[in-house]
Amino acid sequence: MTRSNWTTDRIPDQKGRVFVVTGATGGLGLATAHALAAKGARLVLAVRDETRGRHAAGLLSARHPDAPPPAVRPLDLADGASVRAFAARLRADGPRPDVLVNNAGVLAPPRTLTPHGHELQLAANHLGHFALTALLLDLLADGDDPRVVTVTSANHRRARIHFDDPAGARSYSPMDRYNQSKLAGALFGHELHRRLALAASPVRSVLAHPGYAATGLQGATPVPAVRLLFGRLLRPLAQSAERGALPQLYAATDPRALGGQLYGPDGPGELRGAPTRVPLAPRATDPATARRLWDLSEDLTGVRFTLPRHHEDLDPHPAPARPRQP
């Protein structure tokens, strides 16, 4: 890990570029939106609560009057129908995106199932972003320096994917399932990079994690022990949301950000600091695990990526043919 002095002052001019930011009503998402608007970007705020979204848009316009007014679009990442509706509206009405920042997430709720029967954290933190990326990928490919930024966590290094129990029916620990969702995001972002590179796509898939940032997410969890630990006891160690957003801003805007790489804070334990390249867990780059998760994600969401087919000799990790689903 190398030390870095990168700040938002280093963000290039973003006039004419369109950024879709999920979870943009507060925390890292709103901090990301403010930094992009300050550089002239056009924003699409993808939000679960439209009232909060309109409030966030008002704050952005008031602070950055020279930036284009943000668009507010409803998106519930835990609901596949909402993801499809969001993508369809963006396709029909625009604006065409240049960058997708997969930022939104939930932290350590009690076991909750979505209407589709998926465990909430896996659905909101991974499956929704997986489907959204697939549905917008062709639009992104026509963009200006197009990128997909997937926000994971240093906790991905503590996780494994429960392929035999993805919904947590047999065992459920709030933090274990949160960590799983963040490993899923890391696997997805890295595997997406590999597939995009094989397809010679212009889209970059870059990963970021915020370290430990005070975003309000920690205090919002309904699990008392998690809320006490992260929302109060450890809060003095946290950096601001503005500092926590730096790695994803670097991944989204800096010309030197590399596809397939993870950017996080350069301080001790990757808890705080300026963005620098940090290692992914070996499990997050394992091709067999990535393929298995990709197949599971397609099956659970019903959304499949469309990328140009290449000869298997070009693929360093060719996958066996999948059986057709009934």
Q: In the annotation, is 212 catalytic? A: no
The number of residues in the chain equals 326
Among 37, 55, 45, residue whose Cα is nearest residue 21: 45
Q: Record the tokens describing residue 69, joined without a space.
A: 């007014």
Please enumerate in sequence order all residues whose Cβ is within 8 A of that of 209, keeping only pairs 6 or more positions apart, or say none. 151, 152, 153, 154, 156, 247, 262, 263, 264, 270, 278
Q: Which amino acid belongs to residue 205?
A: S
Among 49, 46, 45, 73, residue whose Cα is nearest residue 59: 45
Decide: 230 and 220 in contact? Cβ < 8 Å: no
| Inter-helix orientation angle 174-198/287-301, to 10° | 100
Q: 115 preceded by cis ω (within 30°)?
A: no
Q: Would you give the DSSP letter of residue 49? A: -
* Catalytic entry in 178, 212, 250, 263: 178
Distance, CA of 165 to CA of 113 (rounded, Å):
13
In order, the DSSP letters of 241-303 are HHHHTHHHHHHHH-TTPPTT-EEEE-SGGGSSSSEEEEPPPGGGG-HHHHHHHHHHHHHHH--
E strand or H helix at 136: helix 128-141
Q: Which residues are catalytic?
A: 178
